[in-house]
Structure 1
Amino acid sequence: MGPTRKRDLTGAVVGAAFLSYLLVIVLYRWFPPITVWTGLSLLGVAIAEALWARYVRTKIGEGQIGAGPGWLHPLAVARSLIVAKASAWVGALVLGWWVGVMVYFLPRRSWLRVAAQDTTGTVVAAVSALALVVAALWLQHCCKSPPDATEHPDGAET
């Protein structure tokens, strides 16, 4: 399993934005109001993942991976990596959705009162989804094991 590629996430954002724009054109009249609270749950998940990434980074940096008390179990790191990869993809798809909705709203804000009211909630939701993607990629980065100093003690590559 390799790291999540940013170009794949970007493709997911663009694809989801295109599809959401088409859906919003057809279905916007049946949308409920989009408030500032709409996307804040994603921000909560992003903050939790960022805090967990900081904890994992601290434990891996100190070499505290193992089975003792106060140590981070290797399966916890593997599970964190899976959560990070899934969160990055979910965040990218949700970010694409909100970008597509925003693209629909922005030119219509001057003459469509509901679009003007929903724009703030849409921007908050898009920023929250972006924060989730960033936190997930950082957690994924923090799950990497540090280079082994015992392989090349003098720093020479073979």
Structure 2
Amino acid sequence: MSDDEHGPRPSLRPTAPSTLAVVGLAGAALTLLLAARYYQQAPSLAWYNSAVLFALALLLAWMAWNTRKTLRPSGKLTAGAGGTAAPGGVESPEHALQIARSAVLAKAAAIAGAAFFGAYLGFTVWLAANAGRLTAAADDLPEGVLGTAACAALTAAALWLEHSCRIPPQDDERESDSSTRP
């Protein structure tokens, strides 16, 4: 199948684990450097920042569950009359556009979650290393751990939403793919 016959192929690829790792490590390294230099000027961490991140993670997890339930109502996508998807499938261009928007949101949230995870992790490591000699660092440590967990939950929920937005191939597409392979 060439691009000339059916138009361009989609170019949104799943988020690579290496991308998340590099973004997280960069966030951690930058935050470690900034915390070592400017901790005295930084405001103390607040628990409600983590609550917002957990709420976003719950929202993305709900979107992932709902999208997965919509696309795979009984484990597979079925074709209705005229080759269109039956209930539970992609019924209209608006529905397909919503799934594409969710996939883009998931990719952005996964990368942002990894960046903030790295930042919170770097800050938490710095706080743990200095909690014995700085009272403020010891006070900020629980919120740092909570923020790190919230960012991990956000990244995981975003990756689940991204995975849930994949439209499974229909049975007739699977058969044609297997018959064209050598």
Q: Tell me the TM-score normalised to structure 1 length.
A: 0.91
Cα pair 1:35 1:120 within 8 Å, conserved:
no
> Cα deviations across residues 95-114 of structure 1 (Å, max 9, x unaligned)?
11111101111111122111
Alpha-carbon separation, structure 2, partners of 1:155 and 1:23:
52
Q: Assess, with a 3 A threshold, how the Cα gap between structure 1 residues 155 and 8 changes in structure 2: closer, same or farther.
A: closer
Which 5+ residue runs of structure 1 have no aligned equivalent?
none
Which 5+ residue runs of structure 2 have no aligned equivalent?
1-11, 74-87
Opposite residue 17 of structure 2, the aligned amino acid is K
CA displacement at 1:143 relative to structure 2: 0.4
Which residue in the other structure is 1:66 paired with?
A: 91
Which residue in the other structure is 1:34 paired with?
A: 45
The answer as to 2:20 corresponding to 1:9 is yes
Which residue in the other structure is 1:148 paired with?
A: 170
CA displacement at 1:31 relative to structure 2: 1.4
> Cα deviations across residues 103-149 of structure 1 (Å, max 9, x unaligned)?
11111112211111000001111110111100000000000011220
Alpha-carbon separation, structure 2, partners of 1:119 and 1:152:
52
Which residue in the other structure is 2:120 paired with?
A: 98
Alpha-carbon separation, structure 2, partners of 1:95 and 1:151:
39
CA displacement at 1:32 relative to structure 2: 1.3
Task: Describe how 1:71-86 pairs up with structure 2 within 5 A.
Answer: 73-86=95-108
Which residue in the other structure is 1:122 paired with?
A: 144
CA displacement at 1:154 relative to structure 2: 9.7
| Identity, % of aligned positions | 30
CA displacement at 1:151 relative to structure 2: 2.5
Alpha-carbon separation, structure 2, partners of 1:31 and 1:99:
16
Opposite residue 43 of structure 1, the aligned amino acid is F
Alpha-carbon separation, structure 2, partners of 1:134 and 1:40:
16
CA displacement at 1:155 relative to structure 2: 9.4
Cα pair 1:56 1:143 within 8 Å, conserved:
yes
Which residue in the other structure is 1:111 paired with?
A: 133
| Aligned residue pair count | 155
Q: Assess, with a 3 A threshold, how the Cα gap between structure 1 residues 81 and 100 changes in structure 2: closer, same or farther.
A: same
Cα pair 1:37 1:121 within 8 Å, conserved:
no
Opposite residue 6 of structure 1, the aligned amino acid is P
CA displacement at 1:37 relative to structure 2: 2.0
Q: CA RMSD in A?
A: 1.9
Which residue in the other structure is 1:23 paired with?
A: 34
Considering only CA atoms, is the larger Rg found in Structure 1 or Structure 2? 2
The secondary structure found in structure 2 opposite 1:123 is helix
Opposite residue 15 of structure 2, the aligned amino acid is T
The secondary structure found in structure 1 opposite 2:166 is coil
